[in-house]
Structure 1
Amino acid sequence: MTTVTSGVTTTLEVRKRDGRIISFDAVRVHYAIGKAFRAEIGLPEDQELENSLEAQVKSISEAVIDQIESRPFSRDGVDVETIQDAVEIQLMRHGHFSVARRYILYREEHAKLRALRAADSDGNLIAPRINIKQEDGTKEPFDSTRLRRRIYSAVRGLEQNCSAEELVEETYRSLYDGITPQEIYRAMILASRSRIERDPDYDKVAARLMLMVIYNEALGRLHPKEDIADVTRREFSNYIETGIAADRLAPRLREYDLERISAALRPERDAAFPYLGLQTIYDRYLLHIEGRRIETPQYFWMRVAMGLAWNEENKEERAIEFYNILSTFRFTSATPTLFNSGTLHPQLSSCYLSTVDDDLEHIFKVVSDNAMLSKWAGGLGNDWTNIRATNSHIKGTNGQSQGVIPFLKVVNDTAIAVNQGGKRKGAVCSYLESWHLDVEEFLDLRKNTGDDRRRTHDMHTANWIPDLFMKRVRDGGDWTLFSPDETSDLHDLCGSAFQARYEEYERLADEGKMRLFRRLPANELWRKMLTRLFETGHPWITWKDPSNVRSPQDHVGVVHSSNLCTEILLNTSKDEIAVCNLGSINMVAHVKNGELDLDKLRETVTTASRMLDNVIDINYYPTPEAKNSNQRHRPVGMGLMGFQDALSAIGVSYASQEAVEFADRSMEAISYFAILASSQLAAERGSYPTYEGSKWDRGILPIDSLELLEQERGLPIEVDRSTTLDWQVVRDSIREHGMRNSNVMAIAPTATISTIVGVSQSIEPTYKNLFVKSNLSGEFPQLNLRMVQDLKAEGLWDSDMVEAIKYYDGELTEIDRVPEELRLRYLTAFEVEPKWLIECAARRQKWIDMGQSLNLYMAQPSGRKLHDMYMLAWTTGLKTTYYLRTLSATQVEKSTIDVNRFGIQPRWMKNSSASSDIRVDRGEAAVEPGADPNAILDQLPPEQPKTCNLDGDCESCQ
């Protein structure tokens, strides 16, 4: 470029940082400013700006050139920093402050890069200017070659979609003098993690880098030429001895033939872990000594397997069998088993249920039991229906009771204080039957307003509802509340027996023979239940009668509540704390060529049933009541996860009759194989002690008990009863051998264990196809990998698609370029009508002897919709429901999206004011004479409901 100074034409020159003088190139200024604009709005560098933005870039570039040309002439040229200063100034003068900020950060990053490295004449990295601080405090020069080798190794085979050089460059920006090796790995992982939304192959890169971290800690720094598999097998016995010496592992592990066990390790299976799975087990599952992990992922699986097999006659053979099922992600034990198997305190059970007697000593015994059970990672369910109501007479002191609420506050605070051994937050759910006189205060426990001494912000709550109440709601009848000290037998009655006795108490009340009672329209109480559920996410809706009428153990007790997650339904009493031992089948791992692989599923379920049964005898029991109950009845809970992934694998939308049929047939297969496996175990080990007189003994299977529920309810159960397998084989086996376990099936939420193996949670629909997941390990971008694969197959996966999915908040529905078939296949949770979730759940429930953790989703809730949804769940025979979830305010980060590119408002923008469509009535509405008794259900406050505030990593999510 030429300019005129004092009448003399000169060439504008630039002085580079290395002292070279070159000619000024205005194109480079224009390019730098355009790059800053693209970075601010999230456009790739090779994509053209819109005409209006391109015009602004041109105007700013000309202003920069004018500013540079107006400077006094210098024979040494214009310094590069001066030109960059001019760019910053002109960006701000033109009002583009956010773009200027981008440019400033860009300059700072590159300044740091220049401080970290220099270049020789060939452009190669030479002597660094920073040092690495080792664990012992010594420093050694930073080796850029080692960093590049690790990143390029992690990207190997993925170069088509992943740029190793980009990762190197971004990692450099995080380096500083005195940085530790751990921080360098973290920088590499974060660089990969931030690009997962661009392509899921970056998840594999992050996982490989995470494995390097784990190997360095567990196996020591490896030579680049060493084979990981050889080192892993060679060091296994050292791992066992180190763990025993540090009191992390049980000495019984020495009794194994460790040479045989180590030879069975398959370190190559580490590559199957997703990044978040590795991060999760690193943070909370891998055993450590003073913060240093001593386990690799395969050591972890083998430790769990050995801990479950040490009572087996051929324990090496069984341990290897268990290991192969676990390490190939076909089945995963629940979190307490993964935490504690093979350790000095093998508390392997997931759930504990207890009933509280109306006795002060027993009340605080239960609180103490809660603390001991929570310490070892147990999730708790307490039944509080026995406790007399507020203002009831206390005979011993001749005073008046304060009711159940103050005691629940103590339960809440105990759960906070005893946080599952410091590994995750304590969690408990309290249940109350709907006829209890304190039920209205119980509904308010999770509210943020009112007397905080009568609020339990950290404890879960659930309604335990008899069928008679639902009938009264349906018919517009009245409902009477009683105090349990006057109606103590209602607690142990269900079905028609409950109805007869309850109606007798109502007659006594009418005759003035009951001291405390209150009568109100059933719809009014139902409305309050749904309103509180909408406002606070609690109490959950669960049903007493189907849980009891269909219970296999109705001959030896009563199901008084469910557990923390509403899937466990076992008898409780003063002498028995019910215990359940859980694990989940990975459904998508059993889909082959678009169909369910029944042979593989049979093998998995049979082995998993043995693992679950072993838990009962190995388990460490914190209380004698828990040990007594578990060894008498021996219940286990076989569940499933990856249901949504299995639907995607067979090309089916959750919102379809095909999904309902798959739910039916897949659960039938699991039920068939699980019941048969328990019967085969009984042939080998004997039936459980209370088998005689059970439904199993009477020839009643779960599918048969639906008819019993119909009889007790006096209403049809609206669910298909068809079967496809030869159930006579199962019936004959039970008749001949009995059952090893009183209960065999329960579907838990599996949020954590499904994360470990990288599949969709439990029976959940996809939450979003792209979102950020927050848990105790941090925040992680989550991308639906199957969706990406299908979009790639259609040639549709590009930066525009990523931007569109982010704009539409992880949904494909409104993206026209996506084929309709894929839009339907990848509907998200809030796009699937609740009826489909309920229909699928009802088909499963007919096969299950316990329950399922069923979350219900509603994008635009109203009172009528909530009423219809929960009535459908009841009429189709469901035993319990779990969370009610609606759209929250938290969405995918959109700050880099050019929203002007899309002409339609996404649902997340439309719904920001959707609650204004819901009529507001914060008073206690009543049914007017002659009005529709359900009309008040159309009135709900427009507050966003709260869901789980325990961050998805409590026991409530497995």
Structure 2
Amino acid sequence: MTIAAQTELSIRKRDGRTEAFDPRRIHQAVTAAMRAGQGASADDPVESALDEAASRVAAGVVSEVEFVASRGDGSVDVERVQDLVESQLMQEGEFRVARRYILYREQRSRARALRAESEIGDRRTVSMRAAGGDLRPVDFHDLKHRLFRACRGLPECSANELLGDTVATIYDGISESELERALVMAARQRIERDPAYSQAATRLLLDIVYKEAWGRVPEPTHDAPLPLFPATEGEDETATSFPTVYRGGFSGYLRDGADAGRIDPRLLEFDLDRLAGAIRPERDRDFQYLGVQTLYDRYLLHIDGRRIETPQYFWMRVAMGLALNEQERESRAIEFYELLSTFRFVSATPTLFNSGTLHPQLSSCYLTTVDDDLQHIFKCVQDNAMLSKWAGGLGNDWTRVRATGAHIHGTNGKSQGVIPFLKVANDGALAVNQGGKRKGAICAYLEPWHLDFEEFLELRKNTGDDRRRTHDMNTAAWVPDLFMRRVQENGEWTLFSPNDVPDLHDLYGEAFKSRYEHYEQQAELGEIKLFRRVEASKLWRKMLSMVFETGHPWLTFKDPSNLRSPQDHSGVVHSSNLCTEILLNTSNDETAVCNLGSINLVKHTGREGVDRGLLADTIRTAVRMLDNVIDINYYPTAESANANRRHRPVGLGLMGFQDALFVRRIPYGSQPAVEFADEVGELIGYHAILASAELAAERGRYGSYQGSKWDRGLLPIDTIDAVHSSRNEGEHEMDRTCRLGWAPVRQAVAAHGMRNSNVMAIAPTATISNIAGCAQSIEPTYRNLFAKSNLSGDFTIVNAYLVADLKRLELWDDQMIDELKHHDGELGPIDRVPEEVKRLYQTAFAVDPHFLIEANSRRQKWIDMGISFNLYLANPSGPALSDMYAKCWRKGLKTTYYLRSLAATQVEKSSIDVNRHGVQPKWMKSRSSSSEIVVQREPTPSACSIDDPECEACQ
């Protein structure tokens, strides 16, 4: 077997350099390892069996490397490649060779640390190419000094070991930037040993940020709480203090940004000295490494590749952009900055990208309805392109487009249906990425009575006619209650072409049921020619099988989304958005828009519970920030401007829920966690509605307020009755417990109205959670130790709360790390871990889905829009899936998002002893295939990763 040499991929070395990936080197390394395992010398001829085995292993590694690289920027860390070699050797049963390879890697790692001091002496003549192009000797003692400085106050971190790792990667002629990156990489690779290395890596990366922004790096002193900058001759040391330099560079940064066309010149009209004085440089230290790396790669403004922003400049720029229209704009900017820089609230990615810039497209989500008209179809495709260009995530409702075989009056021909147009929309999303920062992302919605629905279910399959597949488009079913009832009753279901039943699209509840049954009678009488009858349960099973196989379509529920909508007087909710949490009316004249941001719950939670006063203050300011987006926002289409300015919806969300449970010592899979979800949901709903009413008193009600549920005195908790009364007995099981006295909120709404038609929506927050250093959204812990891949590279994620507990119990050691890797981050099989700790740190697949669904139902009762809700099932089966989704419907959920199930391959087993842990863990027994739903694999081909850089769904 021959391994090809051609590849466009690259390998990231330990020092940050990249070089072309040569698959032949994998084959050579594997062959050498196998020969050594057999005791063969390098001169012995290669046996055909050995060569075949080596080629098979190498081909598997190359395939995995190509796949990992395809999910990011086309490159892979060298350590990740070596992990894949280990994994593939064990996968092929080459356990003896794998063990030698693992021990060899460990010896090499230790040798780097032991050789560090001697290599410093041996390599004094190694040259570094400075930024100006001049060669000068590498100052190894300076490297040691910088690493010791990064590890100061972190007793868990060994500067000597980091030095060994760094020195081993240095080569003659290394560039200055590569050398700086090598320091960061050395610390980053040790995060799995101890989360404290994340702080060391953060400090080293911040040095790079500061050097780009100011041209010099701060120098810490022993007696100063913050570092100093190196003073030039005759310079006052006070002038070189870190806060002084940090704040002193603020106005220059803004002028440089404005001159380069990166920053709105109106920001220069603020009182810059006052704002600079409000900057808190020490808050840079609050970031975890992944947060700073994410900011550096994607968010900090740059000129010709040089970052001009520091993290605190970034927060202040966003705050200023959101305060542009405020009367007391400096005070408001400082108020907004305080929320952002302390991670109490973080705006969604489009706001962070574009606030304070010349193109302030700050909104996250756009929802459109596509008409059954060729001109309008392609107008919507064009609109998608314009919305996607400025980082908007798209949800398209395609239900009105006539089905395959329907008569076309104008040409007297037959329609090809909706599928070809979906293919066009899919390709358009690929063609227009979001400013080069991430790929365009779109979700198509279709109601299950559409005659093309069965083919719609197969859009994400990897088999069949590729011209009728949309491999990059997400899909969702917009399911009416009547369909769910027919499934339960084992009844028939009729599929129609929308041009024959045009009003079904706008109907829900009892009105939909009555009209749908009328059309079924017409079909029975022959008055409607184009239709098809199927068993409802059979169609339901096909829906679930496609969810299992491809991850799509997501299942969302039309009736509760409309029956509980505050805006039922002014239109219909025809779909959700890309992430299934936004539920707003759409029409030909209105493209729904939503502006998102999320509260970081753990920043408001202590051991005894939530700090209610702090949470209320955060929500009041956060709602104001979200409302400001509407007036500042750049609207790519007239329909989006019309809808957003008329209804003014915002989506206040939540993240860090799992962290808050850890702080409170509550296992996610427990009734106390359900009650805590209920308590938090009510607190957020209470204060968010109150904040919008207070804004209405200050700024006026939103344009379409009159006649809304708010105007009729109905809060979200009151709208549960509408769903309950529309369903049969046993079809609705939603808790209605209240803990707070809601009279003040009701009085405020009655007196002032609402500033925003909709106020709350819980979105995915993968990216902004990375920045804030908390668990995303309402998600349970995925794994206690796992590898995450995004546009910034591959990252080891370790549960710092767990590590702290295991250290307290004197259980955190190399053996524990190996056991966690071996068991895919699960504590259950590790005997020496106490049961109490195991319960607290159960991961997503170990938590009974009952608790996840019930907790989400408790949140949903307080929220006027929806929740992006992932479901986890370790061992999916048809009955289990059916029961789980039926329960979501009965519990009153409006939408669901991804189904996540275990893949055959889980966490890479790097540097573990196969003799200690056994030769074949359960994850090795089978390979994942294209026919299984691999919902959270690292990386995963068929569904969204926990942090998928290609997906707008991640805020």
TM range (shorter): 0.7 to 0.9
Correspondent of 2:254 among 231, 240, 246: 240
Structure-1 residue corresponding to 2:821: 806
State how far apart, in whole Å, the 1-side matches of 2:369 and 2:105 are.
63
Compared CA separation, residues 405 and 107, structure 1 to 2 (3 A): closer
Structure-2 residue corresponding to 1:710: 724
Structure-1 residue corresponding to 2:557: 543
Q: How many Å apart are 1:394 and its aligned residue?
A: 0.4
Structure-1 residue corresponding to 2:398: 384
Q: How many residues align?
A: 838
State how far apart, in whole Å, the 1-side matches of 2:821 and 2:491 are.
48
Correspondent of 2:953 among 940, 953, 956: 956
Report the AA paired with residue 167 of structure 1.
L
Q: Does 1:154 align with 2:141?
A: no
Structure-1 residue corresponding to 2:346: 332
Is this contact kept in 2: 1:706–1:717, CA < 8 A? no
Structure-1 residue corresponding to 2:294: 280
State how far apart, in whole Å, the 2-side matches of 1:499 and 1:761 are.
38
Compared CA separation, residues 110 and 670, structure 1 to 2 (3 A): closer
Q: Does 1:217 align with 2:232?
A: no
Compared CA separation, residues 907 and 836, structure 1 to 2 (3 A): farther
Structure-1 residue corresponding to 2:845: 830
Q: How many Å apart are 1:484 and its aligned residue?
A: 0.4
Structure-1 residue corresponding to 2:408: 394
State how far apart, in whole Å, the 1-side matches of 2:523 and 2:479 are.
21
Q: How many Å apart are 1:888 and its aligned residue?
A: 2.0
Is this contact kept in 1: 2:102–2:913, CA < 8 A? no
Structure 1 length-normalised TM:
0.85
State how far apart, in whole Å, the 2-side matches of 1:468 and 1:146 are.
71
Q: Does 1:198 align with 2:193?
A: yes
Structure-2 residue corresponding to 1:629: 643
Q: How many Å apart are 1:96 and its aligned residue?
A: 7.4
Compared CA separation, residues 814 and 502, structure 1 to 2 (3 A): same
Pick which of 381-390 and 588-597 moved more.
Answer: 588-597
Correspondent of 1:696 among 689, 710, 728: 710
Q: How many Å apart are 1:136 and its aligned residue?
A: 2.3
Structure-2 residue corresponding to 1:434: 448
Give the 3-state SS of the residue equivalent to 1:423 in structure 2.
coil
Q: How many Å apart are 1:915 and its aligned residue?
A: 11
Q: Does 1:555 align with 2:550?
A: no
State how far apart, in whole Å, the 2-side matches of 1:583 and 1:249 are.
22
Structure-1 residue corresponding to 2:942: 946
Is this contact kept in 2: 1:752–1:953, CA < 8 A? no
Q: How many Å apart are 1:899 and its aligned residue?
A: 3.1
Larger Rg: 1
Q: How many Å apart are 1:138 and its aligned residue?
A: 1.6
State how far apart, in whole Å, the 2-side matches of 1:821 and 1:105 are.
33
Q: How many Å apart are 1:143 and its aligned residue?
A: 1.2
CA RMSD of aligned residues (A): 2.5
State how far apart, in whole Å, the 2-side matches of 1:117 and 1:678 are.
62
Is this contact kept in 1: 2:440–2:950, CA < 8 A? no
Structure-1 residue corresponding to 2:475: 461
Q: Does 1:763 align with 2:758?
A: no
State how far apart, in whole Å, the 2-side matches of 1:104 and 1:375 are.
45
Report the AA paired with residue 955 of structure 1.
E
Structure-2 residue corresponding to 1:71: none
Give the 3-state SS of the residue equivalent to 2:675 in structure 1.
helix
Q: Does 1:409 align with 2:423?
A: yes
Correspondent of 1:501 among 500, 505, 515: 515
Report the AA paired with residue 255 of structure 1.
E
Q: How many Å apart are 1:713 and its aligned residue?
A: 2.4
Deviations 1:29-83 (A, max 9, x none): xxxxxxxxxxx9xxxxxxxxxxxx9xx99xx9xxxxxxxxxxxxxxxxxxxxxxx
Structure-2 residue corresponding to 1:20: none
State how far apart, in whole Å, the 2-side matches of 1:868 and 1:248 are.
52
Compared CA separation, residues 485 and 96, structure 1 to 2 (3 A): closer
Correspondent of 2:536 among 507, 519, 522: 522
Is this contact kept in 2: 1:496–1:713, CA < 8 A? no
Q: Does 1:475 align with 2:489?
A: yes
Is this contact kept in 1: 2:113–2:165, CA < 8 A? no
Compared CA separation, residues 129 and 889, structure 1 to 2 (3 A): farther
Give the 3-state SS of the residue equivalent to 1:346 in structure 2.
coil
Percent identity over the alignment is 62
Q: How many Å apart are 1:532 and its aligned residue?
A: 0.4
Q: Does 1:896 align with 2:907?
A: no
Correspondent of 2:461 among 441, 447, 450: 447
Question: 1:256-335 counterparts in 2 under 5 A?
Answer: 256-335=270-349
Q: Does 1:856 align with 2:871?
A: yes
Give the 3-state SS of the residue equivalent to 1:582 in structure 2.
strand
State how far apart, in whole Å, the 1-side matches of 2:948 and 2:623 are.
30
Structure-2 residue corresponding to 1:734: 749
Report the AA paired with residue 151 of structure 1.
L
Q: Does 1:137 align with 2:133?
A: yes
Give the 3-state SS of the residue equivalent to 2:717 in structure 1.
coil
Pick which of 273-282 and 884-893 moved more.
Answer: 884-893
Structure-1 residue corresponding to 2:29: none
Pick which of 170-179 and 241-250 moved more.
Answer: 170-179
State how far apart, in whole Å, the 2-side matches of 1:252 and 1:372 are.
25
Pick which of 193-202 and 898-907 moved more.
Answer: 898-907
Q: How many Å apart are 1:714 and its aligned residue?
A: 3.5
Give the 3-state SS of the residue equivalent to 1:342 in structure 2.
coil
Correspondent of 1:779 among 794, 804, 807: 794
Correspondent of 1:865 among 846, 870, 880: 880
Compared CA separation, residues 534 and 112, structure 1 to 2 (3 A): closer
State how far apart, in whole Å, the 2-side matches of 1:563 and 1:719 are.
24
Q: How many Å apart are 1:139 and its aligned residue?
A: 1.6
Deviations 1:92-123 (A, max 9, x none): xxx97974897699789979998x9868xxxx
Q: How many Å apart are 1:243 and its aligned residue?
A: 0.2
Give the 3-state SS of the residue equivalent to 2:836 in structure 1.
helix
Compared CA separation, residues 487 and 230, structure 1 to 2 (3 A): same
State how far apart, in whole Å, the 1-side matches of 2:845 and 2:742 are.
37
State how far apart, in whole Å, the 2-side matches of 1:641 and 1:112 are.
39
Q: Does 1:722 align with 2:722?
A: no
Deviations 1:744-779 (A, max 9, x none): 000001010001111111010100000000011110
Q: Give the number of the structure with larger relative contact order, counting CA–CA contacts within 8 Å between residues 6 or more apart.
A: 2
Q: Does 1:649 align with 2:649?
A: no
Structure-1 residue corresponding to 2:82: none
Report the AA paired with residue 419 of structure 2.
I
State how far apart, in whole Å, the 2-side matches of 1:294 and 1:897 are.
42
Compared CA separation, residues 742 and 223, structure 1 to 2 (3 A): closer
Structure-1 residue corresponding to 2:265: 251
Compared CA separation, residues 104 and 523, structure 1 to 2 (3 A): closer
Structure-2 residue corresponding to 1:575: 589
Compared CA separation, residues 836 and 112, structure 1 to 2 (3 A): closer
Give the 3-state SS of the residue equivalent to 2:523 in structure 1.
helix
Compared CA separation, residues 646 and 907, structure 1 to 2 (3 A): farther
State how far apart, in whole Å, the 2-side matches of 1:947 and 1:189 are.
31
State how far apart, in whole Å, the 2-side matches of 1:732 and 1:189 are.
55
Structure 2 unaligned spans of 5+: 1-32, 42-95, 220-227, 230-240, 934-939
Pick which of 342-351 and 143-152 moved more.
Answer: 143-152
Q: How many Å apart are 1:726 and its aligned residue?
A: 1.1
Is this contact kept in 2: 1:558–1:572, CA < 8 A? yes
Report the AA paired with residue 813 of structure 1.
G
Q: How many Å apart are 1:798 and its aligned residue?
A: 1.2
State how far apart, in whole Å, the 2-side matches of 1:168 and 1:439 are.
60
Structure-2 residue corresponding to 1:878: 893
Report the AA paired with residue 943 of structure 2.
T
Structure 1 unaligned spans of 5+: 1-39, 41-52, 61-94, 923-943
Q: Does 1:599 align with 2:613?
A: yes
Is this contact kept in 1: 2:441–2:950, CA < 8 A? no
State how far apart, in whole Å, the 1-side matches of 2:904 and 2:98 are.
28
